[in-house]
Structure 1
Amino acid sequence: MYERRDFLRGGAALGLGGVMMGGVAWSRDASPIRALLPSATHDTLALKVLLDRPPTAAPVLTIDGRPVPATRQDVDGYAWGFVQRGLRGGTAHRLELRDASGRPLRDAWTLKTLPPLDAAPDHFRILFFTCAGGDEGGRPYGYLPLAARRALLDRGLSFSPDLAVANGDHIYWDLWTALKYRRDAATRAATAERYRQVAWIDEDSAFDSDTNRQSLNTVIGRQIAGVYEDRFASVPLVFVTDDHDYFENDNAGPWGYTFPPRPFTFGLQQRTEAMAYPFALGRPDLGDAYRGGTVETVRVGKLLELALFDCRRGWSLGDKGGVLFPEAEAFLVDRLARSTAQQYIHAPSNPFGWTAGKLGEWYADGPSDGSTFANDKSYWQKGWFAQHQRLAAALSGQRTRAAVSISGDMHASAASIITRSGDLDLSANPIHAILPGTIGTGNEGYPSSARGIKPFHPAALTINDTAAMEERNGFSIVDVYPGRIDVQQFRWRPPEPVAAIAGLQPSHRFTIARS
Structure 2
Amino acid sequence: MLGGVSWSRASAAETRTVRALLPSATHDTLAVKVLLDAPPSAAPVLTINGRQVRARQMDQDGYAWGFVQDGLRGGTAHELTLADEHGAVLRAPWQLKTLPGLDEQPESFRVLFFTCAGGDEAASALSIDARRKLFDRALSFSPDLAVANGDHIYWDLNTALKIRGDPASRAEKAERYRKIAWIDQDTAFDSETNRRSLNTVIGRQIASIYEDRFASVPLHFISDDHDYFENDNGGTWGYTFPPRPFTLGLQRRTAAMAYPFALGRPQLPGGALTSEAVETVRIGKLAELALFDCRRGWDTKTGYGVLFPEAERFLINRLKQSDASHYIHVPSNPIGWTAGKLGEWYEDRPPVGTPGSDKEFWLPGWFDQHQRLIKALSAQRGRPAITISGDMHAVGAKRLTASGDLDLSANPVEAILAGTVGTGTGWPSGGRGMFPSTPGKLIGTDVVETYEKNGFTLLDVTPERIEVRQFSWRAPEPVEAIASLQPFASYTIARRG
Under a length normalisation based on structure 1, what TM-score does the superposition of the two structures give?
0.94
Residue 436 to residue 464, structure 1, CA distance change in 2 (3 Å): same
Number of residue pairs matched? 491
User: 2:78 matched to 1:96?
Assistant: no
Aligned to 1:8: none
2:242 is aligned, of 254, 260, 264, to 260
Which runs of structure 2 are paired with 1:103-252 in the superposition (5 Å)?
Answer: 103-137=88-122, 141-252=123-234
Summarize the Cα distance change of 1:320–1:210 in structure 2 as closer, same or farther, 3 Å threshold.
closer
Q: What residue in structure 2 maps to residue 7 of structure 1?
A: none
Aligned residue for 2:35? 50
User: Does the Cα contact within 8 Å between 2:8 and 2:211 map onto a contact in 1?
Assistant: no
Aligned-residue offset at 1:25: 5.2
How far the C-alpha of 1:19 sits from its partner, in A, is 6.6
SS at structure 1 position matched to 2:392? coil
Select the residue among 482, 485, 490 that pairs with 1:509.
Answer: 490
1:366 partnered with 2:349: yes
The one-letter code sitting in structure 1 at the alignment partner of 2:491 is: F
The whole-number CA distance in structure 1 between the counterparts of 2:378 and 2:58 is 41
| Match among 66, 70, 74 for residue 55 of structure 2 | 70
Provide the rounded CA distance (Å) in 2 between the counterparts of 1:319 and 1:208.
Answer: 33
Give matches, 1:369-388, under 5 Å: 369=352, 371=354, 373-388=355-370
- Distance (whole Å) between structure 1 residues aligned to residue 476 and residue 170 of structure 2: 28
2:436 corresponds in structure 1 to 455
SS at match of 1:20: coil
Aligned positions of 1:413-428 closer than 5 A: 413-428=395-410
* Residue in 2 that maps onto 1:84: 69
* Deviation string, structure 1 residues 363-413 (Cα, Å, up to 9, x no partner): 000101253x31101110111000000000000000110000000000000
Alignment-derived partner of residue 19 in structure 2: 34
Distance (whole Å) between structure 1 residues aligned to residue 135 and residue 165 of structure 2: 31
CA-atom RMSD in angstroms: 1.2
1:482 is aligned to: 463
SS at match of 1:110: strand
> Aligned to 1:302, what secondary structure does the other structure show?
coil
Whether the aligned pair in 1 keeps the contact of 2:418 and 2:457 (CA below 8 Å) is yes
Is the 1:346–1:405 Cα contact (8 Å) retained in structure 2?
Answer: yes
Give 5+ residue unaligned stretches, structure 1. Answer: 1-17
Report if aligned partners of 2:49, 2:79 keep a CA contact under 8 Å in 1: yes
Contact 1:26 1:218 in 2 (8 A): no
Equivalent position SS for 2:89:
coil
Matches within 5 A, 1:225-374: 225-287=207-269, 288-317=271-300, 320-369=303-352, 371=354, 373-374=355-356
SS in structure 2 of the partner of residue 106 of structure 1 = strand
Aligned amino acid, residue 181 of structure 2: A
Runs ≥4 residues deviating over 3 A: 24-30
Q: Distance in 2 between matches of 1:355 and 1:25?
A: 38
- Percent of paired sites with the same residue: 67
What one-letter code is carried by the residue in structure 2 that aligns with 1:278? P
Q: Aligned AA for 1:267? A: G
Is this contact kept in 1: 2:2–2:199, CA < 8 A? no
- How far 1:53 sits from its partner (Å)? 0.6
**Following the alignment from structure 1 to structure 2, what is the Cα–Cα distance between the partners of residues 270 and 317?**
22
CA contact (8 A) 1:19 1:25 kept: no
Q: Which residue of 2 aligns with 1:6?
A: none
| Further displaced range: 167-176 or 452-461 | 452-461
